[in-house]
Chain A
Amino acid sequence: MTHTHTYDALVIGAGGAGLMAAIYLSRNPSMKTAVISKLYPTRSHTGAAQGGIGAALGNLEEDSPEWHAFDTVKGSDYLGDQDAIDVMCNEAVDVIIELEHMGLPFSRTPDGRIAQRPFGGHSHHFGQGPVRRSCYAADRTGHMILQTLYQNCIKNDVDFFNEFQVVDMLMEDRRCCGVVAYHVDSGDLHIFRSKAVLWATGGFGRVWSITSNAVAGTGDGAAITFRRGIPLEDMEFYQFHPTGIYKLGILITEGVRGEGGVLRNDNGERFMERYAPTMKDLASRDVVSRAIYQEMIEGRGIGGRRFVYLDATHLGAEVVEKKLPDITDFCRTYLGVDPVKQPIPIQPTAHYAMGGIPTDINGQVVLDENGTLLPGCYAAGEAACVSVHGANRLGTNSLLDLVVFGKRAGLAMAEYCATADIPELPSDPTGPIAAELERLLAQTTGEPAAKIREEMQNTMMDFVGVYREQAGIQKAVDKVRELQDRYRTLVIMDKGKRFNLDLLEAWELGNLLELAEVTAVSALARTESRGAHSREDFPDRDDANWLKHTFAYRREGGRIELRYKPVTITRFQPKERVY
């Protein structure tokens, strides 16, 4: 059975970016807005962010948006677009104040202002030393942002379609005119017609075997739009967070190091002093993750194994338990380790996509490397690439990206919807996706999706991880393509209509395979090392040839074409990156 709904604006995904946009759209009561989410909104992965959100409030020491912008540009290894970075860092202070006014319970300074702590790559006076810029609520800042935004959506009476999986995008006359969603409870398809659609569907860490990302992090929006002809930008830049819990990948916030925690190798040495003499353990994430790998490669992992220690034992119970209560709980629950008394075994974990659906600074989706805009189509948050993170994102800048560009997208959509008409739908809007879902269900013999997923995750971890080289990436490309073929014949055990997560997990695997391929193909082409993309065979940054964004397109017959776009450079000329 098919149902049809009509809205002015649709927000796909109920994390920080989607809810922020929904709040702005719903401030105009005549604007009919709906949020569609495959989960209940408070389950979104924004809630897992821990350490803080960056803004130069200067509550504890001198700070400025210009220093924040410099740090972000340098952190991006000069691949971030400086006009977009300026927007983000300049609007950061106001948007944090706005979140506080919405009710966000930030931790406080003794005089009652928003508390701030140091974080990786954030410095004063253009790299002179760490600065307290990360605004936090204990170590559950993301949880508090997600809760606060959801609360404000309730206050504004936003319509939610919870547990609706968006499975296709509708286009007519090169304009976005809505989406098709699969209602998880009933198995029915719903057509959502609208003037504007925002993709705020998050990242795709589930491409890798060790990840901090939720099971839901399958990059659905990026994969759907890619299949519909929209490019993906800078997909080779994927961040590995230095400190994931050994084997599980669960995030241990950089806030531990912000509060004074240090990394130690098997000799007990604070090895970051060798790699980053000024910022030490608070160097940017790509630098720290590589240092940890280097220590392990050279045999200084703990007991010669694939992990090192994050040591917070000198901070005292008061700091650890009061300022870092959640990670204390994680360590006790999953490791049986008490971080007050024992070091935490950690390894780098797949964490964040710098790349994604290309947009302008108002969240509007860009169709090509020339900047052609797609009417009615927007993206924000981790799903999008503005690009403010370039080749490597700084900690605290993801939450900031969500709220700044979620807000800007919401405002731009409201303005667009005020004059746009409701577009016509294409003929048979549910036809293609209904056929795909039926095909997935019809197969009666074959291997389970889980087996294909596991092979993809292990392959990507081995060959498209912290370090990469030509032969390995090529192996990954070949393997992912083989898995895409095998995906055509996988078997789904659950043949029912109601709450068929077996079917949806298989469909999500299709998205992951799509994004794994784009990531590997983009990485293979880029013969330099920049930010999170570290090529062992091309160890240096090559500004002469590679100071440019990758745009990947799915062409006829399934071929991926790569094109390139110059980086916007305004104030900060590329120079060598030293922390």
Chain B
Amino acid sequence: MAKATIRILRYNPEGDAAAPAHQDFAIDVEPTDRVLDALNHIKWYVDGTLTFRRSCAHGICGSDAMRINGVNRLACKVLMRDVGSRVTVEPLMGFRVIKDLVVDMDAFFAQYRSVLPYLINDSRPPERERLQSPEDRERFDDTTKCILCAACTTSCPSYWANEEFVGPAAIVNAHRFIFDSRDSAPGERLEILNNREGVWRCRTIFNCSEACPREIKVTKAIGEVKRAILYRQST
């Protein structure tokens, strides 16, 4: 056990303070504890009003993206030994804060829905599976890993500047279908992403790739979508 100070940006929508404020919690932690374990310890035994989303606790469900020492991470995928004895935990930037570390995700999911994130293929399916070579399957493998945690979108300066920007996560999910050999509507998605709030707001800053807890090469995927739009226009 070692002492650690967890500094958390608190906001109570029903409290007197209009603005969020930091609060420090000094607790004992194991080096192998997740930051999420530290937050749980505070919630369960110190201050039950501390509020954050969490579920699977191993980086698969995407609930607990937050800013940890200034960078977007999943609280369940960062160990205390990797962040030192003073940790600052704050909500994701760019979304309205509902309470403490909980942000409003509705706009994020609306942007996700706007890119037609589902397979479109109106041809009559064969009796068995549609065939797809391992190479064709590999083409979009990276972007199938997305867990919609919003770490990428809320690390993006272009998104902070303009929340109408569809954002990296939605583009990643469009990419997953645009490059799926079974899909017949990549053109529709490229059309959507070619508008003024689409891919061209991306300035290739790479924050998204660094933020992704699934190590998706987000900026690369966005670049591939940009090239697909240009290629389509030139042919």
| B205 sits at the interface (CB 8 A) | no
Pair B48/A493 contact, Cβ less than 8 Å = yes
CB contact under 8 A between A492 and B55, given known A101-B130, A151-B118: no
Q: Which residues of A contact B118 (CB under 8 A)?
A: 103, 151-152, 154-155
**Stretch of A365-373, A424-432, A472-480, A494-502 with 4 or more beta carbons under 8 angstroms from chain B:** A494-502
A450–B42 Cα gap in the complex (Å)? Answer: 11
Pair A42/B45 contact, Cβ less than 8 Å = no
| B47 sits at the interface (CB 8 A) | yes
| A569 sits at the interface (CB 8 A) | no
Pair B180/A334 contact, Cβ less than 8 Å = no
**Stretch of B16-24, B58-66, B194-202, B218-226 with 4 or more beta carbons under 8 angstroms from chain A:** B58-66
A111–B12 Cα gap in the complex (Å)? Answer: 57
| A558 sits at the interface (CB 8 A) | no
| A418 sits at the interface (CB 8 A) | no
CB contact under 8 A between A47 and B56, given known A42-B147, A493-B48: yes
CB contact under 8 A between A494 and B49, given known A103-B180, A334-B32: yes
| B26 sits at the interface (CB 8 A) | no
- What are 19 A-B contacts with C-beta separation under 8 Å? A42-B61, A48-B56, A96-B129, A97-B127, A101-B125, A101-B129, A101-B130, A103-B119, A106-B137, A107-B137, A108-B134, A108-B137, A151-B118, A214-B55, A326-B60, A334-B32, A448-B48, A492-B48, A502-B49
Pair A448/B45 contact, Cβ less than 8 Å = yes
Number of A-B contacts (CB under 8 A): 151
A502–B49 Cα gap in the complex (Å)? Answer: 7
Q: Which residues of B contact A497 (CB under 8 A)?
A: 14
| A545 sits at the interface (CB 8 A) | no
Q: Which residues of A contact B61 (CB under 8 A)?
A: 39, 42-45, 47-48, 214
Closest beta carbon of chain A to B154's beta carbon, Å: 15
Which of B51, B59, B79, B119 is within 8 Å of A329, CB to CB? B59
Write the A142-166 contact mask toward B (1 if CB under 8 angstroms, else 0). 0110011001101100000000000
Q: Which residues of B contact A108 (CB under 8 A)?
A: 132-134, 137
Pair A498/B98 contact, Cβ less than 8 Å = yes
| B99 sits at the interface (CB 8 A) | yes
Pair A105/B49 contact, Cβ less than 8 Å = no
Q: Which residues of B contact A326 (CB under 8 A)?
A: 60
| A113 sits at the interface (CB 8 A) | yes
CB contact under 8 A between A112 and B109, given known A39-B55, A501-B51: no
A149–B8 Cα gap in the complex (Å)? Answer: 36
A113–B127 Cα gap in the complex (Å)? Answer: 13
Q: Which residues of B contact A106 (CB under 8 A)?
A: 129, 137
Which of A39, A96, A105, A499 is within 8 Å of B98, CB to CB? A499
| A196 sits at the interface (CB 8 A) | no
Q: Which residues of A contact B215 (CB under 8 A)?
A: 329
Q: Known A-B contacts: A48-B60, A112-B131. Give 16 more (CB < 8 A).
A: A42-B61, A42-B148, A48-B56, A97-B129, A101-B130, A102-B119, A103-B182, A113-B129, A154-B117, A214-B55, A214-B56, A329-B59, A448-B44, A499-B13, A500-B51, A502-B49
Pair A151/B119 contact, Cβ less than 8 Å = yes
Which of B47, B132, B140 is within 8 Å of A493, CB to CB? B47
Closest beta carbon of chain A to B186's beta carbon, Å: 13
A492–B53 Cα gap in the complex (Å)? Answer: 18
Q: Which of A100-125 contact B (CB under 8 A)?
A: 100-103, 105-114
Q: Which residues of A contact B87 (CB under 8 A)?
A: none
| B43 sits at the interface (CB 8 A) | yes
A367–B113 Cα gap in the complex (Å)? Answer: 40
A342–B125 Cα gap in the complex (Å)? Answer: 45
Q: Which residue of A lies closest to B113 (CB)?
A: A154
| Interface hub of B61, B77, B137, B182 (most chain A Cβ within 10 A) | B61
A114–B47 Cα gap in the complex (Å)? Answer: 50
Q: Which residue of A lies closest to B106 (CB)?
A: A162
Pair B49/A47 contact, Cβ less than 8 Å = no
Closest beta carbon of chain B to A116's beta carbon, Å: 12
A552–B180 Cα gap in the complex (Å)? Answer: 49
Pair A498/B129 contact, Cβ less than 8 Å = no
| B105 sits at the interface (CB 8 A) | yes
Q: Which residues of A contact B144 (CB under 8 A)?
A: 105, 137, 140, 144, 147
| B102 sits at the interface (CB 8 A) | yes
Which of B98, B131, B177 is within 8 Å of A185, CB to CB? B98
Pair A45/B13 contact, Cβ less than 8 Å = no
Closest beta carbon of chain B to A186's beta carbon, Å: 10
A45–B53 Cα gap in the complex (Å)? Answer: 14
A211–B62 Cα gap in the complex (Å)? Answer: 19
| B203 sits at the interface (CB 8 A) | no
Q: Which of B37-95 contact A (CB under 8 A)?
A: 43-45, 47-49, 51, 53-63, 77, 79
| A215 sits at the interface (CB 8 A) | yes
Which 10 A-B pairs rank lowest in CB-CB distance, beginning with the nearest? Answer: A103-B119, A493-B48, A450-B44, A112-B131, A151-B118, A502-B48, A43-B61, A100-B129, A155-B118, A494-B49
Q: Which residue of B lies closest to A140 (CB)?
A: B145
A38–B125 Cα gap in the complex (Å)? Answer: 35
Q: Which residues of B contact A126 (CB under 8 A)?
A: none
Pair A42/B62 contact, Cβ less than 8 Å = yes
| A547 sits at the interface (CB 8 A) | no
Q: Which residue of B lies closest to A491 (CB)?
A: B48
Q: Which residues of B contact A502 (CB under 8 A)?
A: 43, 48-49, 51
Which of A109, A330, A499, A501 is within 8 Å of B58, CB to CB? A330
A155–B53 Cα gap in the complex (Å)? Answer: 27
Closest beta carbon of chain B to A282's beta carbon, Å: 24
| A445 sits at the interface (CB 8 A) | no
CB contact under 8 A between A334 and B62, given known A100-B130, A103-B182, A105-B140: no
